[in-house]
Amino acid sequence: MRSPYLFYHSSNPLLSEHAHDLEVFQNKPFWIWDQKEHDIKFKETEGQCCHVDILGRPQKDGKDYPIFDYQKLIFDAKYLGGHKAHPVKKQKDVRIDIFLDRIEVHSDEFIFNIPYTQMINIENMDEKKITLKRFILVGLFALAWKKKKVYTVIEYNDGVDTQEIAFDFEKHLEKQQPVIYQKMIAARTKKDEDGK
């Protein structure tokens, strides 16, 4: 079978035509995990479908490799709002990719990253914990919160402003929130050690 990656040139990604053009990365995922979808997008965009293909795939002994399934941790969630650049009137289905240095939040309309080093806090909240301050910060999405449901709120600084983003991790809450928390703590510890 012929490779769908005819436009892929990995000899020196730093010398590509997009080396100084960051717009090529805008609204593109880090990696497209579904192989069929990846093949289609790769052909449609002539190799510019995701960050990995734009920069150049990992190599070993001169051979290009994809990102393997064991390197990903992905789950579906509901985005309830709170990011000032991505307000929503009602909850939105999102996919959350967990990486070594950040989480990526993907919807049909936006993609944003939350680096662990920039996280201030991650906590559980139910409707009883919503204070006046939180209501002001997160706006109308708080009205969509269901009673007796536990939500995850991630507070982080995006380099410009502090964001308080709320998610419904649904069935993934007990597994994924601790993973994100541990990565946040590890990033903080490393940052403290590097600063000494």
Is 14's pLDDT higher than 60? no
Amino acid in the structure at residue 91: Q
Is 134's pLDDT higher than 80? no
* % of the chain surpassing 90 pLDDT: 20
Is 133's pLDDT higher than 50? no
Q: Residue 159's CB: how many other CB atoms inside 10 A? A: 7
How is residue 19 annotated by DSSP?
A: T
Domains of the chain: 13-64 (no CATH), 73-195 (2.30.29.30)
- Residue 20's pLDDT band, with cuts at 50, 70 and 90, is low
Give the model confidence (pLDDT) of 54-80 as tens digits. Answer: 888 878 888 887 776 655 667 788 998
Neighbour-count burial for 7-41, b at 16+ CB within 10 Å, e otherwise: eeebeeeeebeeeeeeebbeebbbbbbeeeebeeb
Is 171's pLDDT higher than 70? yes
Residue that wins the pLDDT comparison between 113 and 57: 113
DSSP E strands in the chain: the ranges are: 59-60, 63-64, 74-81, 92-98, 102-106, 111-115, 119-125, 151-157, 162-168
Is 141's pLDDT higher than 60? no
Q: Which helix (H) or strand (E) holds 137?
A: helix 132-138
Q: Are 23 and 62 in contact (CB under 8 A)?
A: no
Place of tokens 């579906």: 76
Q: What is the pLDDT of residue 44?
A: 93
* Mean pLDDT to the nearest integer, 99-103: 83
Q: What is the pLDDT of residue 10?
A: 44
Q: What is the pLDDT of residue 69?
A: 61
